[in-house]
Amino acid sequence: MTTAEPVPQTEHLPLPTVRASALAAWQLVEDARYRPGRRPRNERRRLLAQRAVADRKAAREVEQELHLG
């Protein structure tokens, strides 16, 4: 075969179509990411840290009451 000969034809495969469920899932992710009431990540981290500290403090107080009582 020389470069002047045409390339043999291969089977033409149809492009895969995107299913509606995949598009819906993508839209849900994007809506959750960019919704107006979304808190910044650092604010969420701070809130979770404050909850953890409060939970540990409450657990310590309960444990102290059990040992004293």
Alpha helix ranges (H) inside 1-69:
20-34, 41-68
Question: pTM for the whole thing?
Answer: 0.43
Match 């470069």 to its residue by tokens: 3
Q: Please give the DSSP secondary-structure letter assigned to residue 69.
A: -
pLDDT tens for 25-54 read 888 888 888 777 767 778 889 999 999 999
pLDDT band at 1 (very low <50, low <70, confident <90, very high): low
CA–CA distances in Å: residue 28 to residues 8, 33, 36, 44, 48: 45, 9, 14, 20, 24
Distance CA 69, CA 65 (A): 6
pLDDT digit string, tens, across residues 5-23:
877 777 776 776 767 788 8
